Amino acid sequence: MKIIKNNVVKFILLAILVFGISFGIILATRNAGPVGPDRNTISQEASIKKMNELYRSISINTLSLKIDELYIDDEELVTVLPDISEYPFVVNPTTDEFLTVYSSSESAGTDLAGWFAEVADKFNQSGLIVDGKPVSVGVRSMTSGLGADFISSGKYKPDIYIPASELYGNILISKGIKVNLIQKRTAGNVAGLVISRAKNEELVNKYGSISSKIIADCVINGELIMGYTNPLSSSEGLNFLLTLLHTFDAENPLSEPAVTQLTKFQDKIPFTPYNIRQLSDSTAAGVLDGFASDYLTYFNSPASTSGYVFIPFGVRHDQPVYEIGDLPAIKKQICEKFLEYCSSPESQTLANNTGLNNFEDYIPDLAEFDGAAIIQAQEIWKREKNGSSDLTAVFVADISGSMEGSPLLRLKASLNRASSFIDANTNIGLVTFSNDVNIALPIGKFDVTQKAYFSNAVKSMSAGGGTAMFDAIVAAQKMLMDAKEQNPNTRLMLFVLTDGETNQGYSFDDIESMSRGLRIPIYTIGYNADIEILKEVSDINEAATIDAETDDVIYRLQNLFNAQM
């Protein structure tokens, strides 16, 4: 009996001790934020409750609306192409006589993706003489879409243009630009779907193999969650769009049935990403099952090759070569010698080592699209990209004292110029912040009147005070969730333009788990900014960050707005 009593006493003491330790841990950690792998997991219902609690403590002003009488409408769009200095030579010419080349960033990038740049550098070191003169090449690396924009605008023209695929050459030809396809290939590459091994195995077991049609059907049926980049600027995105339309109607890819299926497909696309990195991060986080990419990018990503498989689609990305305009005789000779050098066994072996020249037996499963049809397909995508839903977005602009001068001037220019590319059917609101938060423009359709209100609100911004960025984010999220309650079918987006130097109000830790639960992507644009904290904000829901100090911000915002709005 005594033994039993002793055991009971020990059990009670142990229980008290465990309770005391547990209670102490709770007290010690209750203000420290969630810990462990599930630290950011919170339901949308709980997130809305927390958002409302935070919102009640924020000082918010509603500004009066005024129309900008000097507002310029869509018919007078400003030129937004960046200055060519933002795309310096990745290989500098070394002689007075040289060939200027715009090359796809697929192969003229950095590290292992820099095959073309490395070959060009070796060519310059070879000391080639043409007509008694030393010659060389200068290579600028840029996306195929930007290269085509430069050429078609007439703002900057290279001697030679090497896009990812012939799709871009076809676009230029359709616009009446004098271009001549002089070589169909510099090194082999293909576009494709990067899909997790587990999802690939699941679909193969069910369907036997994976084709473009199966991919499209699985997305529409909810069996596959994927994303792809903006087909207005991305070679992989454009290739995938054309593949989809061809899959929906091979005889007439631009037909109404094809467009109807594209709308259904877009209903199941969570978001249009800013770049491949955003897609890759979203897939790694489990948000997506896969994404459209190219084999070179896949090959040079250890994470992709270990956990994912690559399924080719669309036209080949063999980096064709176009002569722009009428080149002088000496430049034609430089071009001929340079392309011979690129085709040499030594150069092609180097290409093999970087991941190029794979899938050599792949035959394109895509019908021929002329340039006019490609442009029409892009227009269809821009109209149908949000599927059957519309879009609601709020801009959050920093007008604190630290933004005074050049940062605020550039922020205002970014908003005014890039807003020209927002579709009239998009719902837009504007919040500004310093010590307090100001609702400068309630959410409304971005028609001519709303644009005029928006323009005046931006024009009226002046800098001063502290920086309550996270308070402003909460206020904008509240506006968006209220809009969602009124229109459940709308998609929500948030854009924050700031230097990121928060010194008032809530902190990142206060809003992180709540923002993840709300699932509103937060795109950040930094002006002389703490880019790392902005990346953390954007990474909450797989959005992206633009550095206004180093990026061609107006052009990038144009592409972002074209993709999203």
pLDDT tens digits, 444-471: 999 888 988 999 899 999 999 999 999 9
pLDDT higher than 70, residue 551: no
Is 189 strand, coil or helix?
A: coil
d(CA 465, CA 459): 18
Least confident of 59-63, 302-306, 405-409, 478-482: 302-306
Alpha helices in 86-234 (DSSP H): 115-125, 144-153, 166-174, 197-207, 212-220
Spatial CA neighbour of 148 closest among 126, 173, 131, 125: 173
Closest CA to 495 of 511, 476, 478: 476
Q: Which pair of structure tokens corresponds to residue 224?
A: 């596959």
Has residue 13 got a pLDDT over 50? no
- Tens digits of per-residue pLDDT, 17-64? 333 333 333 333 323 333 333 444 578 899 999 999 999 999 999 998
* pLDDT, the chain, mean: 85
* Predicted TM-score (pTM) of this structure: 0.72
d(CA 523, CA 545): 6
> Residues of the chain with pLDDT > 70: what percent?
87
In the prediction, which pLDDT does 342 show?
A: 96
Q: What is the pLDDT of residue 41?
A: 57
Cα Rg of the chain (Å, integer):
27
Name the nearest CA neighbour of 400 among 476, 463, 475, 468.
463
pLDDT tens across 369-411, in order?
899 999 999 999 988 887 777 889 999 999 999 999 988 988 8
Report residue 393 CA to chain centroid gap: 16
d(CA 130, CA 186): 22
For CA atoms 278, 281, 283, 286, the dihedral sign is negative
- Domains in the chain with CATH codes: 44-65+389-564 (3.40.50.410), 84-188+318-354 (3.40.190.10), 190-316+363-384 (3.40.190.10)
Across residues 251-261, what is the average pLDDT? 95
Produce one character per residue of 45-83: b if its CB has 16 or more CB atoms within 10 Å, e if not. eebbebbeebbeebebeeeebeebeebeeeeeeeebbbe
